[in-house]
A and B are shown apart, each in its own frame.
Chain A
Amino acid sequence: LAKTTQPISMDSYEGQEVNITCSHNNIATNDYITWYQQFPSQGPRFIIQGYKTKVTNEVASLFIPADRKSSTLSLPRVSLSDTAVYYCLVATHNTDKLIFGTGTRLQVFP
């Protein structure tokens, strides 16, 4: 199973773009990369998933380089409500054993 490494915490200000990078050096060919957001006292919520290159939805963008050994979640123009913990999850197609990393605690200031 691919192990993920993320920064423990990040700070930002409202209106800025935030990029959170996740390292997954031993990612396998069939692995997908998924990001989740968790607010205090709630379960995580799916944000975005990708396999390679770039994926964008109404909430965020996910950038994956050609070697796929890392990925970057990009949150455009963050607001106070984006303060949360963000988890990168690498999941292989061959198993349903989904193990989360330690996550990145994002604090957005006014």
Chain B
Amino acid sequence: NAGVTQTPKFQVLKTGQSMTLQCAQDMNHNSMYWYRQDPGMGLRLIYYSASEGTTDKGEVPNGYNVSRLNKREFSLRLESAAPSQTSVYFCASAPGDPPGEKLFFGSGTQLSVL
């Protein structure tokens, strides 16, 4: 039982490059999330998906796009990476009811944009 799996674990990009962060969960959860965490800071919500086929903006959606491919997978895309997007990205999933209960997080993707 893998839980929440994120790939890649590390990535270095040049300014302007694009990439997609992958996330998959095997717990049959309804809700999935993408957060970013800058060094020494808290978690900021980028996008979330309450159920398959729906996505909504979080606190800091600019510069990102997401796709809820199916119930298991929720990907995050950077179309044109900027140095300000250097961060650790966490994917999480949750059953969805009640909200906030037992969010399961992946191990994170450390992204550096040069």
Contact = CB atoms under 8 A, between A and B. Distances in A.
Interface of A: 32, 34, 36, 41-46, 49, 85, 87, 89-93, 95-103
A98 B100 contact: yes
Interface string B40-65: 01111100101000001011000000
A102 B100 contact: no
Contacts, number: 77
Residue of A90, A91, A93, A97 with most partner-chain B CB within 10 A: A97
Contact of B100 (A41, A42, A89, A103): A89
Q: Which DSSP category, helix, strand, loop or mixed, fits chain A's interface?
A: loop
B59 A98 contact: no
Q: How large is the interface on B (under 10, 10 to 19, 20 to 34, 35 or more residues)?
A: 20 to 34
Contact of A103 (B42, B59, B96): B42
B107 A95 contact: no
B108 A43 contact: yes
Given A43-B90, A44-B43, A87-B42, A98 B99 contact: yes
B100 A34 contact: yes
Contacts of A32: 98-101
A41 B103 contact: no
Nearest to B6: A43
Interface string B18-56: 000000000000010101000001111100101000001
